[in-house]
Amino acid sequence: MRLTVNGSEVEVSSEADTPLLWVLRDELKLVGTKYGCGIAQCGACTVHLDGRAIRSCVTPVSAVADKQIQTIEGQATEAGLSPVQLAWLETDVAQCGYCQSGQIMAATALLASNPNPSDAEIDAAMAGNVCRCGTYPRIRKAVHLAASLMSEEHSA
Amino acid sequence: MSEIPTAGSMSRRRFVQSGGALLFAAQCPISLSRKVHAGGNGAMMNSFVRIDPNNVITMLANNSEFGNGAYTVMSMMLAEELDVDYRSIALEAAPTTLEYYSPLFREYLTAGSVTTGSTFIPMRTAGAKARAMLLEAASRDWQLPPDELATENGTVTHAASGRSSTYGELLEVIHRFDIQPPETVALKDPSQFKILGKPARRYEGVGKVDGTAQFGIDIKLPGMLYGAIARPPVYGGSVIDFDATEALAMPGVVKAKAIRAGVVVLADSYWRAQKARAKLKINWDRGVNDGVSSEQFYADYRALADTPGMLAEDIGDALGALDAAEAKDRVVEATYEMPLLAHATLEPMNCIAHVEGDTCTIWSGTQYQSNDQEVISRFLGIPQQNVTIHRPLMGGSFGRRSSKKADYTVEAVEAAMGESVPVQIIWSREEDIRSGHYRPLFVHKLRGSVDEAGMPEAWHQVAVGQSLMQGTKHDPAYMVRGMDIYSLDGCLQEPFGVFPYGTSYQIPNHRVESHNAPKKGIVPQEWRSVAHTHTGIAYECFLDELAEKGGIDPLELRLRLTKDHARMNRVLNVLKEKSDWGKPLAPGRGRGVASRIYNISPVAQVVEVTVAENGDFSVDRVVCVLDCGFAVNPLGVEGQVEGGLAYGLGGVAFGNIDIVNGEVQQSNFHDYPVMRLPQMPKVEVYILPSDEPPTGIGEQATTPIAPAVANALFNATGRRVRRFPLSSQGFNLV
């Protein structure tokens, strides 16, 4: 089976029913995407499928063969960290950091469809991403900051 | 066993030996990463600092990082005295040897919110001593008086001549003159601080946004096998026999074998191991916990609470005062019941073990390296120093990774025995929720009275729950006359045993009794802020009940009770002002207050809630005022406060592990709900300026939030909750 992950085509040999999460982690060694619950309840495994946030722990690899998969490892470019990553750093969001790949992927997808979300829209879009350290106040702040960084980038 | 120097006495002999022995790369700690070994020719200035000729400064950190900010504060302390940027410091996990044991715990342990306080002097001293040696080196090499030299940004400079050398360049001079660490060194006066006390972003922050931060679960070793364990339906059960025919026929599956924890399936990927596990056919012995239930715990504990317990504290004559107050209708009685709670760290438990001959190497996210080493050494019958522990970052811990049983560690070792390759055991979320290690269930029975002025006059509390320390190696320090004083932290008025602080309140007649509940069903485990998770609710909610009985405003009551406790009194006065206490609220809204001392730091919170007719409620605002002594990293403190109260809020709102017929009923985040973004209140944090030594903050903000919310719900609705979580009583946090 061939997958396109972070812009590169890769051949994988996992069984068709293997969740994308474990193909990324165990076969492709892209371990930035995390396991948290296995049943789409925590968001730690969030990746982008054709730009949309999905839970890779419940997505069989067979379902994503012809699509573009983006993981946390694909967020930074040669120009450096993405605006969302920069906003996360600037706001000092992470504590243990385990959920943050998923948070950043969820926030990036949100901002792609809604460049200037309200607090309520952030809450709704990010409710599926659990942070046990409780970095939620800074997540809210960082999403707003990322939105403004992206709009500056856009107008520049 | 060879002589291992202790933290107090080590250094001097070690550095003086064999002329120029400062450069002792050969003594590099065992758990260094390969990269560092390759770098290899640096000089250990002391236990905590190595400097390489290329001017890379490496800190050996003996506290673990699980979100607590340990790496940030420790690198800040070292950098401050060494005059370098804390972010430029390289970091290695210090090896699990006596030299690196916590001077406080005398173990290799990161716990109790003591990292900042207990490293504040040692890490600064390590930096200052290294700096003194570098200054001496430059002074002798340049033949200039040391007081004309300065240090900045990893360089010694002489302003008048313009001379400068990097620290790395000076290593050769230190070697040439055989410069030794000074016996004593002056630390900077706080007025000179450039780093400490200023907001600093997380040391390891970049890896936590670009996906490169390495947690235990992320480690891949050559040839490593993944293991999934089928565990008994009842905690403590065991395997009678099993049939793995179907499992072994599945792709990638290497082996299935019985271990004490259950049946482990080894495969070439975790998914394959998990899938094959589902095909195992196992006959279980349900073990001694078959039939236990949470409801039975509650019933048994309530019955125990009606009987006299062991006497922990007896100030004045509480029983006499209560009897006298009874006739005047000034007595309140209540029983508070707190359920079992899981920790639910987002990174599930995991451990890699490799057993080779009489050595064992593990890669494990753990708070408690020395204990893991002891348990493994006992289990394998090998010397403790043959157990090497590599220490990745942890995806949260909240106490779970400080298990005295080293459960998830030693079972990985057992699974790896007889295998030629390393084995990684990863727990599923279901295993995590049903692991059997929980904040113990507690029942507190309270009786109190108020005097003619309405102030608390007598307090009688009986605490019943499973001991955290009884029968463990901590028994001698924490079990006093049979009582687990660790579990009474937060309800004793006076300092007791190893706890140098009381509640901060003064109630003239104060009696506390304790029962250790029978050990059955679970392994009690520290849960962020430990005893305060139940003593805090019982104490602060019942204080609210007495305030109501006496007709005194609950915050005013606390101000009066703490008039002899200057630090808490100051916290409460600021809280009163910042929280707009007393300002009227709309119908359906309410305010609650609680104030606690955990590990010396006083912290108090006011919570505002809005409650709907159907019991749905939101926590709109939390104002938190705290005094943690000198705040080394205010940005980190603020984050710990936000996170600490979020953790406690989720616990009190819907945290509940329910055991029926020996089996845990919850299994994952759908039935063991945790805090989510929409439920997170607005938080205002006020850190009071202080010149006192730094004390903890990792767990402190967890302590008042639960009772403050319950008190706010009472304020809004007139309904007292005495059985938790709130969701079990019709109050649902939305």
How many helices (H) and strands (E) would you count in chain B? 19, 32
Burial of B715 (0-12, 13-18, 19+ CB in 10 A): buried
Q: What is the pLDDT of residues B640-649, one digit of tens each?
A: 999 999 999 9
Residue B243's DSSP bridge partners are: B281
Contact A132 B207 (CB under 8 A): no
3-class secondary structure per residue, B494-527? CCECCECCCCCCCCCEEEEEEEECCCCCCEECCC
Report DSSP state, residue B94: P
Task: Note whether ipTM > 0.95 here.
Answer: yes
According to the model, what pLDDT value does residue B35 have? 31
**Distance (Å, whole) CA B233 – CA B231:** 6
CB atoms within 10 A of CB B687: 16
pLDDT over 80 at B12, yes or no: no
A14 plus A69 within the same structural domain: yes
Which 3 state secondary structure label does DSSP give B322? helix
Contact B394 A27 (CB under 8 A): no
A63 plus A87 within the same structural domain: no
According to the model, what pLDDT value does residue B669 have? 98
Q: Which of B1, B700, B30 is nearest to B389 (CA)?
A: B30
Place of tokens 């459960």: B407
pLDDT over 60 at B21, yes or no: no
A103 interaction partners in chain B (CB closer than 8 Å): none
Chain A interface, best mutation among B346, B401, B684, by max A CB count within 10 A: B346
pLDDT over 80 at B39, yes or no: no
A51 plus A103 within the same structural domain: no
**Distance (Å, whole) CA B465 – CA B133:** 54
Cα radius of gyration (chain A): 15
**Distance (Å, whole) CA B74 – CA B63:** 9
Question: What's the distance, Cα to Cα, between the start and end of chain A in Å?
Answer: 41
* Domain C-terminal end among A51, A74, A97: A74
* Domain C-terminal end among A74, A92, A117: A74
According to the model, what pLDDT value does residue B520 have? 84
Average pLDDT over residues B289-314: 97
Average pLDDT over residues B658-663: 97
Distances (CA, A) of B463 to B46, B306, B497, B516, B668: 47, 10, 18, 9, 30
- Cβ B362 vs Cβ B399: under 8 Å: no
CATH number of the domain at A90, please.
Answer: 1.10.150.120
**Distance (Å, whole) CA B621 – CA B579:** 9
Chain B interface, best mutation among A18, A35, A48, A72, by max B CB count within 10 A: A35
Q: What is the pLDDT of residues B252-282, one digit of tens each?
A: 999 999 999 999 999 999 999 999 999 999 9
- What is the number of structural domains in chain A? 2
Work out the pLDDT band at A154, boundaries 50, 70, 90: confident
pLDDT over 50 at B4, yes or no: no
What are B205's two structure tokens?
């922050």
Average pLDDT over residues B183-197: 97
**CB of A126 within 8 Å of any CB in chain B?**
yes
A101 interaction partners in chain B (CB closer than 8 Å): 211
A67 plus A106 within the same structural domain: no
Q: What is the pLDDT of residues B433-443, one digit of tens each?
A: 998 899 999 99
**Distance (Å, whole) CA B283 – CA B232:** 9
pLDDT over 80 at B504, yes or no: yes
Of A19, A72, A99, nearest to B210 by CB-CB distance is A72
B643 interaction partners in chain A (CB closer than 8 Å): 95, 133-135
Please, what is the average pLDDT of chain B?
A: 93
Which 3 state secondary structure label does DSSP give A68? strand
A30 plus A67 within the same structural domain: yes
Tell me how many degrees the CA angle B274-B277-B282 measures, rounded to the nearest 5: 160
Of B212, B218, B674, nearest to A132 by CB-CB distance is B674
A66 plus A87 within the same structural domain: no
Place of tokens 């708070």: B367
According to the model, what pLDDT value does residue B687 have? 98
According to the model, what pLDDT value does residue A149 have? 96
A32 plus A92 within the same structural domain: no
Q: Which of B66, B29, B31 is nearest to B366 (CA)?
A: B66
Burial of B684 (0-12, 13-18, 19+ CB in 10 A): middle
According to the model, what pLDDT value does residue A156 have? 63
B642 interaction partners in chain A (CB closer than 8 Å): 134-138
According to the model, what pLDDT value does residue B519 have? 86
Interface of A with B in 97-116 (CB under 8 A): 97-101, 104
What are B114's two structure tokens?
């003591």
CATH number of the domain at A46, please.
Answer: 3.10.20.30
Q: How does DSSP assign B48-91, residue by residue?
A: TEEE-TT--EEEEE-S--SSS-HHHHHHHHHHHHHTS-GGG-EE
Cβ within 8 Å of residue B32, ≥6 positions away = B92, B95
Q: What is the pLDDT of residues A40-76, one digit of tens each?
A: 999 999 999 999 999 999 999 999 998 999 999 999 9
pLDDT over 70 at B13, yes or no: no
**Distance (Å, whole) CA B208 – CA B531:** 31
Instruction: Write phi, then psi, for B418 (nearest 5 degrees).
Output: 85, -5
A10 plus A68 within the same structural domain: yes
A19 plus A69 within the same structural domain: yes
What are B237's two structure tokens?
């059960």
pLDDT over 90 at B82, yes or no: yes
Contact A36 B68 (CB under 8 A): no
B7 HSE (CA, 13 A, CB side): 19
**Distance (Å, whole) CA B699 – CA B324:** 39
A70 plus A131 within the same structural domain: no
**Distance (Å, whole) CA B151 – CA B131:** 8
Give all domains of chain B, ordered by start, each with its CATH number. 11-190 (3.30.365.10), 217-288+349-426 (3.30.365.10), 308-341+438-733 (3.30.365.10)
**CB of A122 within 8 Å of any CB in chain B?**
yes
A66 plus A108 within the same structural domain: no
A91 plus A151 within the same structural domain: yes
Work out the pLDDT band at B521, boundaries 50, 70, 90: confident
According to the model, what pLDDT value does residue A153 have? 79
* Domain C-terminal end among A74, A94, A124: A74
Closest CA–CA distance from residue A155 to any residue of chain B (Å): 25
Average pLDDT over residues B172-199: 96
Alpha helix segments (H runs only) across B11-157: 11-16, 34-39, 70-82, 115-142
Pairing of strands A68-70, B43-46: unpaired
Range of the domain at A53: 2-74
Which 3 state secondary structure label does DSSP give B462? strand
Average pLDDT over residues B719-730: 98
Q: What is the pLDDT of residues B412-453, one digit of tens each?
A: 999 999 999 999 999 999 999 998 899 999 999 999 999 999
Chain Cα centroid distance, residue B470: 20
Of A14, A98, A128, nearest to B396 by CB-CB distance is A98
Q: What is the pLDDT of residues B144-161, one digit of tens each?
A: 999 999 999 999 999 999
Smallest CA–CA distance from B621 into chain A, residue: A137
